[in-house]
Amino acid sequence: MHSLTDSIPGHDAASLIRTAHRMADAARDAILPHFRSDSLFADNKRPADFDPVTEADRAAERAMRAILVEDRPQDGILGEEYGSRQGVSGLTWILDPIDGTRAFISGATSWGVLIGLSDGQGIRYGLIDQPYTRERFEGGLGQARLAGPMGERRLAVRHGVDLDQATLLTTFPEIGTQAEGDAFRRVAARVRLTRYGLDCYAYALLALGQIDLVIEAGLQSYDIAGPLAVVQAAGGIVTDWRGGPAHEGGQVIAAASPELHRAALELLRG
C-alpha cells in the first residue's frame, strides 16, 4: 500500500473528485427523508447478533451506483449492501452508504456516507459525508478539507499531545474479541479521555484536529477506506494493530502523530 498522492496515472483527478461528490450528493438525497422518520424500519442482517440495515442504506447505495454507471462504467465497485462489480480501469469505488446504522436508527448523528477509491494497491481518495449536519470531509488527490455550514477549512491533525493527554474514540466499548477488548482497555487506561459510539465520525474528528486516537476492530474494507484517505490526507497515520496496511479492515488504529501511534501500538501488543 503506497501513500496518497495528488494524481493517479492515467486518470483525471478532477473528474474522479466530481464523481465522488455527485455520489455523496445523491446519497444525501436518498437518506435524509428516512432520518428520524416515524416510518423508519430496520431489518436484521444477522439474526444471532443485531446488525441493522434500512431502506435508507439500500437506497443510498443504489443512488451511488447509478452515478457510477453514468460517470465511470469502467470502474469496479465494492459496496456493503450490493456487493462487488468487477471493472476494467484498475480503479474500484468502495461504498458504505450508511456507516453507523445503529446510530442512524437511534436518531444520533455520528453516522455517515463513506466513499473510498482504490487503485488496487491502496486507497487514494476518500469522503466522509454527514448529510444531516451537511459536513463533508475529503482527503486525497490533493484534497484535505472540510466543507460544512461554517464554510470550508483545511483538515490537519493536531500534534504535540502525549498519550496521557490524548482523547481516544471508538465505536463499541465491547470491542471485538476478549483479547481485543483487553488490548483496547490498556490504551484507554492511559489516555485522558475515551468516548464511545462515534462510528465514522471519529475519523473525521481526528482529521479535524479535535481528537488524537481512534482504535477499532472487526472492520470491513468499506468501513475504513474513506476514513483512511481522509485521515492520511490530514497528516495522520492509519495502520492495523501490527503497524501494517489497514485498507482491508480488521483491527485498525488511527493516530494524529507518529509518537502517539507508537505508544498506542506498544500497549495494543501488550
Structure confidence by residue, pLDDT tens digits, 144-163: 999 999 999 999 999 999 99
In this predicted structure, what is the pLDDT of residue 46? 66
Q: What's the CA gap between 59 and 141, in Å, rounded? A: 28
Q: Is the pLDDT of residue 42 over 90?
A: no
Instruction: Give the domains, in start order, of the chain with CATH numbers.
Output: 13-154 (3.30.540.10), 163-269 (3.40.190.80)
Q: Rounded to two decimals, what is the model's pTM?
A: 0.94
Alpha helices, DSSP H, located in 76-152: 101-106
% of the chain beyond a pLDDT of 90: 87
Report the length, in residues, of the chain: 270
* Dihedral (CA of 198, 60, 7, 74) sign: positive
In this predicted structure, what is the pLDDT of residue 186? 97
Q: What is the mean pLDDT of residues 68-89?
A: 96
In this predicted structure, what is the pLDDT of residue 7? 83
Q: What's the CA gap between 236 and 261, in Å, rounded? A: 9
The pLDDT tens digits for 207-217 are 999 999 999 99
What is the band of 197 on the pLDDT scale with cuts at 50, 70, 90?
A: very high
